[in-house]
Amino acid sequence: MWGCDYLGGWGSGIFPHGIFFMLVWILIIALAIYVVTRIFGTRTPNRDASSQDRIDSLQILKARFANGEITQEEFTKMKQVLSQS
C-alpha cells in the first residue's frame, strides 16, 4: 500500500517527474504547432502591393498609348477599367 503509485505514474516528492515530463511534451507539441502554422499558415494579401500594381499598370498603359500601340479609345476604356479595380 505504501509503495503503490495511486497517481498513475505522475510521480511524487518535491519534483514530481511525471508532471515535469508532461509539461515538456506540451511544450514540444506547442512548438511543433507554432512551426507548422508559421510555415503553412495563410498569409494576408498586401494592400499596398495591389495599389502599386495599379500605378504600374497605368504607367504601362500610358507608355503604350504614347508609342502608338493603342488608340485613344482603347486607352480611355482600359484606363476606366484600371480605375475601377
What would the pLDDT profile of 1-40 be if each residue is shown by its tens digit?
A: 455 555 555 555 555 567 888 888 999 999 999 999 888 8
By the 8 A CB rule, do 19 and 11 touch?
yes
Question: What confidence score (pLDDT) does residue 56 get?
Answer: 85
| Phi, psi for 69 (deg, rounded to 5) | -75, -30
Q: How many CA atoms lie within 13 A of 26 on its CB side?
A: 6
Question: What confidence score (pLDDT) does residue 66 get?
Answer: 93
User: What would the grid cell of residue 41 be?
Assistant: 499558415
Question: What confidence score (pLDDT) does residue 32 get?
Answer: 95
- Is residue 77 scored above 70 in pLDDT? yes
Question: What confidence score (pLDDT) does residue 41 get?
Answer: 79
Which value, to the nearest 10 degrees, does the dihedral of the CA atoms of residues 53, 38, 42, 26 take?
Answer: -160
| Pairwise CA distance, residues 73 & 52, whole Å | 24
Q: How is the chain split into domains, by residue range?
A: 12-43, 47-84
